[in-house]
Structure 1
Amino acid sequence: MSTFVLIHGAFHGGWCWDRIKPLLEDKGHTVIAPDLPSHGDDPASPEDVTLDDYVSRVGSVLQSTSEPAVLVGHSLGGVTITQAGENYAERISKLVYLTAAIPGNGQCRLDVREGAEGSSLEEFRILSEDGKTMTVQEDGVKPAFYADCDDATVAWVIERLSPQGTIIPKTPVSTTPERWGRLPRAYIQCTDDKAIPLKNQEYFCKNHPCDPVIKMSTSHSPFMSEPEALADHLHALR
């Protein structure tokens, strides 16, 4: 079977994959879901963390595995796995973008917002006074990220969310056809996503073709709302 490395998006930590991890392990896979710097249990200050820090953390995990891994990125995690794909191509068997951003060479997350008009994140995001971090207002967590989850799940998530440094979405990736471009990549679209609307997801797939493109009728976080279905899709993509 395969090794999966699961990379979380903004505000989250490795904990967001807690429902997926045992399901994939039951199918015989090895699963690693690290906290990126300043997230989960990592003590780094979010205002100081860079994309290089994120990618180095992913690289450390990839270099520790016994085989090239399936690298999965959710949401802003798509930026992270894109740069990791360039830096550590030899340690990756496939990239899987889960309703995730795919910036092109020289682009940052903020450059690839076509089709993102009306994103719920714009409504519920709170920027710090110094502009170095952002959070999500508590009553916006469910409509933005977890619209199809029960209130108990949303409450559990809220306890674990952390501030997101604003350096990351402003940092462009540097990729080449010979490294990132040669890696097989798949995309899982979430058709009811309010944070990254479907049109934005389709924009990514148009500009950076993925095969296959899988559709799930969920909001932004199928690892919580439909973990069994998501685990089945990931298993099939191994």
Structure 2
Amino acid sequence: MRTLPTFVLVHGAFANSFSFAPLQAELALLGHRSAAIDLPGHGFEATFPAAYQAPQDLDALAAAPGGIREVTLADAVARVIGVLERAKRHGPTVLVGHSRGGITLTAVANARPDLIDRLVYVSAWCPVDLDVAGYYAGPEMAATDQRALATALVGNPAELGLLRNNFRTADPEALAALRATMGADLTDDEFRTFLNTFQPDDNLDAGTLDDRAGEATWGRVPRTYVRLAEDIAIPLAMQDRMIREGDALTPGNPFDVRTLPGSHLHWLVHPEPAAALLAGLVAD
């Protein structure tokens, strides 16, 4: 009997393993094994300052320390490698990353390509020619209103040593900006429910030029890019740019490109099509 792979799931910024629960349920119903990872400082390792609770104290929240301050990309890579080493004992592994999780996927594949049978980026950052900061300065990101997203930012990242957002805000401008960028196709209740799965803090280390895809390491792993057609957080033009750059780096091992409809978060809230797509990648 053929051994089915384990899908190892890596979340994006401010998220955690909880956001994959609906997808994992669908994968299980299709007969597939999965493991959702909490990167260091996420999930039950996250810091939720008392000032984040209701009633909120925004001045205190802007200054409260956060445990993710010292977390680096190297810490995230080590966490994922540890999970892959355990999962690999039971058969093939498919490493799936969303959004900022793609940075970790790329760095893991550079470090331990032997542990990964397929990489799957779901509208995820895949730095090839530039680091992520460089991509954010590109014309492809013009569709993302980064100033509007800053309405939810709390505190000074340089002073806090981390990124902090107030996802429990009731400010209509902030909520509208977040929804337009991440989940315009969700209902109000779906969107607010997802916001309540987010944690307020994330780490500052998004990688450097040294963490870009490596031809001899990352480039030897079979890979899929799942485009999200209505994504604004990472617009389609940026997704396609990273696909082109990856294909140019290793033309003998290009991306297998798939497309799902919907926004940055829609596939997690309504995961049936995504689960079917992932299952199809490993079908005989």
- TM value normalised by structure 2: 0.77
Q: Does 1:22 find its partner at 2:25? A: yes
Change (3 A) 1:101 1:26: same
Listed one character per residue, the Cα deviations across residues 198-225 of structure 1 (whole Å, up to 9, x for unaligned) are: 1111110110124321112200023334
Unpaired runs of 5+ residues, structure 2, are: 48-66, 168-174, 248-253
2:38 matched residue in structure 1: 35
The match for 1:85 among 105, 109, 120 is 109
The answer to whether the 8 A contact 1:121-1:144 is kept is: no
What CA distance in whole angstroms lies between the structure 1 residues aligned with 2:238 and 2:266? 17
Q: Does 1:191 find its partner at 2:229? A: yes
The answer to whether the 8 A contact 2:131-2:212 is kept is: no
- 1:147 CA displacement: 1.6
The answer to whether the 8 A contact 1:75-1:100 is kept is: yes
Change (3 A) 1:29 1:173: same
1:58 matched residue in structure 2: 80
2:205 matched residue in structure 1: 167
What CA distance in whole angstroms lies between the structure 2 residues aligned with 1:117 and 1:127? 23
Amino acid at match of 1:81: L
How big is the alpha-carbon RMSD for the aligned residues of Structure 1 and Structure 2? Answer: 2.0
The match for 2:156 among 123, 129, 132 is 129
What CA distance in whole angstroms lies between the structure 1 residues aligned with 2:221 and 2:233? 27
- 1:71 CA displacement: 0.3
The answer to whether the 8 A contact 1:68-1:90 is kept is: no
What CA distance in whole angstroms lies between the structure 2 residues aligned with 1:25 and 1:236? 14
Runs of 4+ in 1 over 3 A off after TM superposition: 135-138, 169-172
Change (3 A) 1:214 1:136: farther
Indicate the structure (1 or 2) with the bigger Cα radius of gyration: 2
1:86-101 equivalences in 2 (<5 Å): 86-101=110-125
Matched pairs, number? 237
The match for 2:272 among 216, 228, 235 is 228
The answer to whether the 8 A contact 1:17-1:223 is kept is: no
The answer to whether the 8 A contact 1:12-1:160 is kept is: yes
Task: Name the SS for the 2:97 alignment partner.
Answer: strand
The match for 2:240 among 192, 195, 202 is 202
Change (3 A) 1:183 1:21: same
Q: Percent identity?
A: 28
1:72 matched residue in structure 2: 96
Change (3 A) 1:130 1:176: closer
What CA distance in whole angstroms lies between the structure 2 residues aligned with 1:137 and 1:145? 15
